[in-house]
Amino acid sequence: MERGSIMGQEAPSIVVRTTFIDDLLINPGIGFTTFQRFNGDRLNEGKGWTEGFPIEYQPFTGSVQNEDHPDTSIAYFRVYWRFLEPEEGQYQWALIDKALATARERKQTLMFRVAPYGQAKGSDVPDWYRNKVGKMTKAQKKHDWWKVDPEDPRYVRHFGGLIQAFGRRYDGHPDLDSVDMSIVGPWGEGAGSALLTQPTREALVDCYIDSIKKTPLMMLLTDEQTNRYGLSRGDVGFRVDCLGDMGGCWENQGDWSHMNDYYPQQIILSGMQDAWKKAPISFEVCWVVQHWKDKGWDIDYIIDQSLKWHISTFNAKSSPIPKEWQPQVNRWLKKMGYRFALRKFAYPAVVHPGGKMAISSWWENLGAAPCYREFPLALRLRNDHCSEIIVTGADIRQWLPGDSLFDSTINIPAAIAPGHYLLELGLLDPHSWQPAIQLAIQGRQSDGWYAMGNIEVK
């Protein structure tokens, strides 16, 4: 770090100019996710994957590193309704509690979706609900993939009721990263959402918006009416389920692809082009990444398009990543989500107990998106006898890609003992009050704090 001095109000100021690093940084809420698995688990074999069923927990070896897959800070868990509510009103919260606890053990947080049903055997709606509503009639089945009629008021009452109960229990949970909004269709992917009546659409979306206010929300990119209504109710991001599809794979569709003929258009038509400024954007691999390679698709094009759409997280379905593509994946990871670098920090050389300290800072977000959760920016004054943490008023959720300034005057504790201190800086977990975010600069200490320089209290 290069240091100089400028004149401040109380004493000459110390100016810190940092040196950037190019390391891969594992930070909260960004990067690849595991899927129905956790850090350290064996990956899916070949080009297959599982979803929607309760997690089959693997023995933990003690290592949170992933072979043939990037290390992650997020575990994505998707489960069918029938497993969370096998009996009417009897919620199996233990499934989620265990997943949250395991994620914490593996240095992850949990991204979650409850899907109403799937298409595989054993993935129907709960038996008790099927007994209530019976089989769908031809008139009810407006979409070939619907298993139950979402216009039946009982669907909102019961499936929506589960979502509301989930929100009451888990909203704001420190180990819950985000919630993936699912309203209709197999796997909750929104098939036929454009066919919903507006009252039903609003009722289903409201179940999430009204009950989950602290944890970030994402909607499936589905149709204009549903997405625009969600945006009108709150800050919601979006997720899509077929990143990488470059065409030639869909029956009677010619060279139609999600990458060229759906996502670029639908993001705009649904009003989602600026959603990334307030809520996360998440993508799921179409098939698995090895399939992209087998098809000869351009990995750099796929990466660059996702960054243009402000991706924060990517679900590769816990399948192996081709070794030949590791350099491209590393480039992706260094841009995915936020990547904060402190360029310049200035502070006075001398402060007084009970006095004020003026600081100024210049930050750069080198990533593609902001951070969507609160991580307080704090300063620590530390020596062999004393340690004082001072939390600033910075809101890092406002630090979009590019430059941000944070200048402030902070209060020095009246009880702090005079002496010489090391001034340190960190972005803290608001629950543990330990440094949580790695910066793209040199100077990180073993406890996660970054040393800015010396300061005297007198």
Q: What is the mean pLDDT of each run of 10 residues along the chain (458 residues)?
A: 41 86 98 98 90 93 96 97 98 98 98 96 96 88 90 98 99 98 95 96 98 98 97 98 92 91 97 98 97 97 99 98 98 99 97 96 99 98 97 98 97 97 98 98 98 97
Q: Which two tokens stand for residue 217?
A: 């929300």
pLDDT of amino acid 249: 86
pLDDT in tens, 328-337: 999 999 999 9
pLDDT of amino acid 264: 98
pLDDT in tens, 237-294: 999 999 999 998 888 888 999 999 999 999 999 999 999 999 999 999 999 999 999 9
In angstroms, the CA 204 to CA 183 distance is 6
pLDDT of amino acid 137: 84
pLDDT of amino acid 385: 94
For the chain, percent of residues with pLDDT exceeding 90: 91
Cα torsion 411, 414, 419, 421 to 10°: value is: -40
How far does CA 25 lie from the centroid of its chain?
Answer: 15
What mean pLDDT is reported for the chain?
95
Tell me which residue of 110, 115, 121 sits closest to 162, measured CA to CA.
115
Instruction: Report the relative pairing of strands 236-243 and 217-220 from DSSP bridges.
Output: parallel
Rg (CA), the chain: 24
pLDDT of amino acid 166: 99
Residue where the block lists tokens 């959402």? 193
In angstroms, the CA 188 to CA 169 distance is 21
- Domains in the chain with CATH codes: 2-23+340-457 (2.60.40.10), 31-333 (3.20.20.80)
Contacts of 429 (CB under 8 A, 6+ apart): 174, 375, 435, 436
Q: For the chain, what is the HEC assignment?
A: CEEEEEECCCCEEEEEECCECCCCCCCCCCEEEEECCCCCCCCCCCCCCCCECCCCCCCCCCCCCCCCCCCCCEEEEEEEHHHHCCECCECCHHHHHHHHHHHHHCCCEEEEEEECECCCCCCCCCHHHHHHHCCCCCCCCCCCCCCCCCCCHHHHHHHHHHHHHHHHHHCCCCCEEEEEECCCCECCCCCCHHHCCHHHHHHHHHHHHCCCCCCCEEEECCCHHHHHHHHHHCCEEEEEEEECCCCCCCCCCCCCCHHHHCHHHHHHHCCCCCHHHCCCEEEEECCCHHHHHHHCCCHHHHHHHHHHCCCCEEECCCCCCCHHHHHHHHHHHCCCCCCEEEEEEEEECEECCCCEEEEEEEEEECCCCCCCCCCCEEEEEECCCCEEEEECCCCHHHCCCEEEEEEEEEECCCCCCCEEEEEEEEEECCCCCCECCCCCECCECCCCCEEEEEEEEC
412 contacts 423 by C-beta, under 8 angstroms: no
∠ CA 333-334-335, nearest 5°, is 90
∠ CA 178-182-185, nearest 5°, is 155
pLDDT of amino acid 250: 85
pLDDT of amino acid 95: 97
In angstroms, the CA 253 to CA 271 distance is 26
In angstroms, the CA 338 to CA 29 distance is 9
